[in-house]
Amino acid sequence: MRRADRLYLLVEILRREGRPVTAEAIATELEVSKRTVYRDVADLIASRVPISGEAGIGYVLESGYYLPPLMLTEDEIDALVLGVEYVKSRGEREISVAARSLLAKVQAYLPERLVPLVDLPTTSVAPVASSAESIRAADIRAAIRARRKLELRYSDAQGSVSTRKVWPVLLGYRDHGRILAAWCELREDFRYFRTERITATTLLDELVPERASVLRKRWKVAMDNERERFVAL
């Protein structure tokens, strides 16, 4: 668990209980040591979070305290809005809806003076025509998250159709279309599949035999080697 997440949960525990909570009880819930709790509470108090109490007795969060509004700089808001607009114009329906939902959630927590930066952004993204696809990119993203193998029916540039069993690595979004990077069991190497040429996908019960971080690292090494060969030519 990230430290920032742990500090947030610690405050929420105190808010939820509304009475003194011992360091031992907090440590048990957060699955950390009491020493970590003592250090986290000290850091929160130093950051002016109104926590009172002491070790051995318990800690209390003063009533009426709320975490501060989401603080973003103007440039960070511009970057967020630009990213959302890019996803809305180039992503499939599910991820486009998620992008709009994300922006609405962020906007709800922004200080009032920053809200106009979302309503009247300083940036924009040129629209692109979406390509017709027979598969759902959401299914591919779900397979990547679940570390499940995929079986693809794929038509190459010459129209030849083949069946491939792959270990999906990531789904790359471009101005025109998307590309699946995956380890291909048939070719015993990393390959790229344009999603508009994938005519069918089947989510298999087989798990990818490598951790996601290991597979991603191997793919990056292969990609770097391919880029070096291209430059050498």
Considering the domain boundaries, does residue 125 fall inside one? no
Confidence bin at 233 (pLDDT 50/70/90): low
Q: How far apart are CA 164 and CA 177, in angstroms?
A: 20
Residues 188 and 226 in one domain: yes
> Which two tokens mark 223?
């990609």
Predicted confidence (pLDDT) per residue in 100-151, tens digit: 998 988 888 787 888 899 989 998 888 887 666 666 788 899 999 999 999 9
Residues 80 and 42 in one domain: no
Residues 106 and 153 in one domain: no
Considering the domain boundaries, does residue 124 fall inside one? no
**Do 196 and 153 contact (CB within 8 A), yes or no?**
no
* pTM for this entry: 0.65
Residues 202 and 146 in one domain: yes
Residues 226 and 163 in one domain: yes
- The whole-number pLDDT of residue 183 equals 97
- Please give, one letter per residue, the 3-state secondary structure of 20-43: CECHHHHHHHHCCCHHHHHHHHHH
Residue 142's SS3 state is helix
- Tell me, what CATH number does 34's domain have? 1.10.10.10
Considering the domain boundaries, does residue 67 fall inside one? no
Nearest residue to 137 via CA among 103, 81, 92, 174 = 92
- The whole-number pLDDT of residue 69 equals 57
> Which two tokens mark 194?
């344009």
User: What is the count of structural domains for the chain?
Assistant: 3
Residues 142 and 179 in one domain: yes
CA 179, 181, 185, 186 dihedral sign is: positive
Out of 9-18, 63-72, 106-115, 180-189, which region has the weakest mean confidence (pLDDT)?
63-72
- Tell me, what CATH number does 158's domain have? 2.30.30
Q: Which domain holds residue 95?
A: 74-119
> Which two tokens mark 171?
């789904």
Integer CA distances (angstroms), 87 to 182, 216, 223, in order: 22, 23, 24
Nearest residue to 60 via CA among 109, 10, 108, 102 = 10
> Does residue 207 have a pLDDT over 90?
yes
